[in-house]
Amino acid sequence: MTEFIESLPPASVGGGDFGGGPRDEYSAFAEECRAHRYLWGELPKKFTSHNAAGSTRSAIRAGRMKDFRPVQEWECAVRRGVVYVRYIGKDQREQSSHE
Provide the pLDDT for residue 16: 46
The span from the CA of 7 to the CA of 22, in Å, is 15
Provide the pLDDT for residue 25: 66
Average pLDDT over residues 14-37: 71
CA dist list (Å): 98 to 1, 37, 91, 93, 95: 59, 18, 11, 9, 5
DSSP 8-state code for residue 49: S
Compare 17 and 74 and report the one with higher pLDDT.
Answer: 74
Cβ atoms of 78 and 53 closer than 8 Å: yes
Average pLDDT over residues 7-36: 68
For 33, other C-beta atoms within 10 Å of its C-beta total 24
Provide the pLDDT for residue 91: 86
